């Protein structure tokens, strides 16, 4: 299989079939009749047909990047998980059945299968659980560790069967950080036989990166950076790697942890 599924040229319409609420998160399920099936970890640039590029404060003008949450095999449906954090996500969260969603994708490079003999451990934080859902579907078996800020957000864990959950405030699941669960999972000999896949806030990814580096465990990290185009034209998404700057939308968003240092996760120089 190629390391990426490429997007058809141009933006296309993918009408919303259903909007679901999971605590403060929204899942948009849409019908993408014209696109190829995405690989886990790839993303789409989304915008709405109406009220985009105008209205309140005249934002947003640009589409926004979203990981694919699920793409049921053999169908045309795509699912996205959204958290309302600004004008773009708010407008997308307001879309309902039949509304016009516009997308470009699938874009970028997703997750690669675990190396021979290694079991997959998936680690997600907050809305960063999105690419892990489709990856869990494709892998069939994996340990899934998910961390959320509080009980309301922990309802997002229902999107991935069999997940072990932590909350920062202990209001659901284990109290503490999801990386504490990962540290326990990696302790001992069994930990050496895993490959870690992670997506979440930069501080969580940096903790995962350091833990895995210390124990010599391979890890693939799904990173984020501000993206204006999503396909390599604007250079807005560059991150620092150990071998220089890369465009995250072209070489990522999933990067092998050994390619990056702490700087890639803090926006600093390599």
Ligand X SMILES: Cc1cc2nc3c(=O)[nH]c(=O)nc-3n(C[C@H](O)[C@H](O)[C@H](O)COP(=O)(O)OP(=O)(O)OC[C@H]3O[C@@H](n4cnc5c(N)ncnc54)[C@H](O)[C@@H]3O)c2cc1C
> Which residues are at the interface with ligand X (CB under 6 A)?
43, 60, 64-67, 81-83, 85-89, 127, 130, 224-227, 253
In terms of CB distance, is 128 or 230 closer to ligand FES?
Answer: 230
Scanning 15-23, 125-133, 226-234, 256-264 for contacts with ligand FES by CB under 6 A, the matching segment is 226-234
Position 60 contacts ligand FES (CB under 6 A): no
In terms of CB distance, is 69 or 239 closer to ligand FES?
Answer: 239
Position 228 contacts ligand FES (CB under 6 A): yes
Query: Least distance (Å) from ligand X to the CB of residue 67?
Result: 4
- Which residues lie closer than 8 Å to 163 by C-beta, 6 or more apart? 144, 145, 146, 157
Position 61 contacts ligand FES (CB under 6 A): no
Tokens found for residue 252: 């990522």
Query: Least distance (Å) from ligand X to the CB of residue 192?
Result: 30
> Which of 234, 259, 263, 270 lies at the binding interface for ligand FES (CB under 6 A)?
234
Site for ligand FES in 236-255 (CB under 6 A): 236-237, 247, 249
> Which of 41, 106, 124, 230 lies at the binding interface for ligand FES (CB under 6 A)?
230
Alpha-carbon distance of 258 to 216, in angstroms, equals 10
In terms of CB distance, is 54 or 226 closer to ligand FES?
Answer: 226
In terms of CB distance, is 181 or 265 closer to ligand FES?
Answer: 265
In terms of CB distance, is 46 or 194 closer to ligand X?
Answer: 46
43 binds, among ligand X, ligand FES, none (CB under 5 to 8 A by kind): ligand X
Chain residues binding ligand FES by CB under 6 A are 227-230, 232-237, 247, 249
């Amino acid at each position: 299989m190629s390391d990426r599924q490429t997007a058809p040229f141009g933006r296309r319409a993918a009408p919303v079939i259903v909007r679901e609420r999971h605590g403060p998160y929204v899942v948009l399920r849409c019908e993408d009749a014209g696109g190829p099936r995405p690989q886990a970890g790839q993303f789409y640039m989304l915008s709405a047909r109406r009220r985009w590029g105008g209205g309140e404060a005249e934002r947003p003008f640009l589409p926004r990047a979203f990981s694919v949450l699920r793409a049921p095999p053999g169908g045309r449906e795509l699912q996205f998980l959204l958290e309302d954090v600004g004008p773009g996500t708010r407008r997308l969260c307001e879309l309902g059945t039949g509304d016009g969603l516009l997308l470009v994708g699938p874009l970028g490079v997703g997750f690669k299968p675990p190396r021979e003999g290694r079991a997959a451990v998936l680690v997600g934080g907050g809305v960063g659980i999105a690419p892990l859902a489709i990856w869990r579907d494709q892998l069939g078996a994996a340990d899934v560790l998910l961390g959320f800020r509080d009980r309301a957000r922990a309802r997002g864990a229902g999107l991935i069967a069999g997940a072990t959950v932590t909350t920062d405030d202990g209001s659901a699941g284990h109290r503490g950080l999801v990386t504490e669960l990962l540290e326990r999972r990696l302790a001992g000999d069994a930990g050496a036989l895993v490959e870690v896949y992670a997506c979440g806030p930069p501080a969580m990814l940096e903790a995962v990166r350091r833990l895995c580096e210390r124990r010599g465990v391979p890890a693939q990290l799904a990173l984020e950076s501000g993206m204006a185009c999503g396909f390599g034209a604007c250079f807005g998404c560059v991150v620092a790697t150990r071998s220089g700057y890369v465009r995250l939308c072209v070489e990522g968003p999933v990067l092998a942890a050994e390619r990056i240092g702490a700087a890639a996760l803090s926006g600093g120089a390599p």
